[in-house]
Each structure stands twice: as C-alpha cells, then as structure tokens.
Amino acid sequence: MGEAFEGTIAFRVVVALRDDIVTMALKPGDVISESDIAGRYGVSRQPVREAFIRLAQQGLLLIRPKRATVVKKISPDGVRQSRFIRESIEVEIIRRVATAPAAETAAVLAELIADQEAASAANDSRRFHKLDELFHRTLARLAGVEYAWQLIDDHKMQLDRVRYLTLGVSSSQRAIAEHKIIAEAVSKGDVASAEAAMRAHLGRAELLLNQTIEDFPDYFE
C-alpha cells in the first residue's frame, strides 16, 4: 500500500476492517456507515472514508453515493483468480526454499506447526487463521522473497473469506497435515515433492469454494 500510507490512521482502519470482513464479524450484505465504523474503532470519519475507498478498490466494499455502504458479497470468480495468483507465486517460493533449505528451516516450520496444532485443539479459528498465514509468509521469508507474500496478501481477500467460513477442527487438522508434508519435503530438499504438496494444498480452494457456495448461498454474488 506504500510506506507513507501504512503509517496512517486510515491504514490501521483498513487492516481492522478487512480483518472484520474476512473473519465474518461483518458479513456479506451487511450495511455499514462511516459514523458507525468511526465509533467502532474510536477514530474520526476522515480516515474511515479513506479506508472505505481502499477496501472498495480491493472488492470488499460497495460504496453507493448518497446511500449506505455495503460489505460486498463474495465473488466466485474473484476467489478463483485469487487462487491462481497465489498458487503461481507460492509454487515458485516453495521451489526456491526446497532447492537450498536453510539450516533453521526444519525447526522454524516445526514450531509453527506445533502452534497451529495448539490453536486447532483449542478450536481457536481466528488464531489458527493467523498462524496459517504466518506459515506461508515464513516460507517466503526463508526463500528470501518476503515481499512476494505481500503481493499475495494484496490479492487474496476473497479467498480468505471462503477459507474462514470453512475453518473448524476437521479443516484445520487437514491443513496441518498438509503443512507437515510440505515442511518435510522442504527440509529434505525434495523440490518435486514440495512443489506437488503445495499445489495440492492450495488446490483444495476449489473444493472449499463449492462447499461454501452450497452452505452459504446468500453470501455469494
């Protein structure tokens, strides 16, 4: 978003509001106003107005002049495009990590997976979601291309909403099992297996999309 913007109150509102939308604290179709959100986060209306514009550009809000602003419904096409962008970049990341794994790699990934197991056991979906993100961002850091994760993060909001709707003990356990396969292949320097494991892991997004459309039809365009 740019370093200058990242230091502003508006940026903090963007982060908080985006998190509320992704985690379904604000649901697709919910009507919101600048005054309500300003009160929710304890800020003035000006940074909220800036945040609304940013989130509208990212496809999360629909701003209707002289009418209420609405949390946009999830776009199935947007989810599929998010998955394409993410898979294209992350497969290259995992190839780079597995080609020359750093000495710290196995221990770092094992610790992250242990934290994920604890969050899953506590049925803490919000914490698990953050730890899941951290696992993938850490792979980018280990590959020496952490900025690539920012590119992914900027384009995966629609996908994140679907993922959060399907989070639960069974889905988190499945994700953890897949993370373990990825971590093992990376630690061994097995590039082909690491790439295949990442493709399989991210490819599950299509199944999640179909499931959530069936379970929450009112949340989708």
Provide the Cα torsion 78, 5, 28, 155; round to 10°.
20
CATH of 9-71, one of 1.10.10.10, 3.20.20.70, 1.10.4080.10, 1.10.645.10: 1.10.10.10
The pLDDT value recorded for residue 169 is 62
User: Per-domain residue ranges for the chain?
Assistant: 9-71, 76-219
70 three-state secondary structure: strand
pLDDT band at 3 (very low <50, low <70, confident <90, very high): very low
Tokens linked to 13: 């509102």
Q: Tens digit of pLDDT for each residue in 33-61? A: 999 999 999 999 999 999 999 999 989 99
Mean pLDDT of 16-45: 93
Given the candidates 1.20.120.530, 3.60.21.10, 3.20.20.70, 2.60.40.10, the CATH classification of the domain at 76-219 is 1.20.120.530
What pLDDT is stored for residue 68 in this prediction?
A: 87
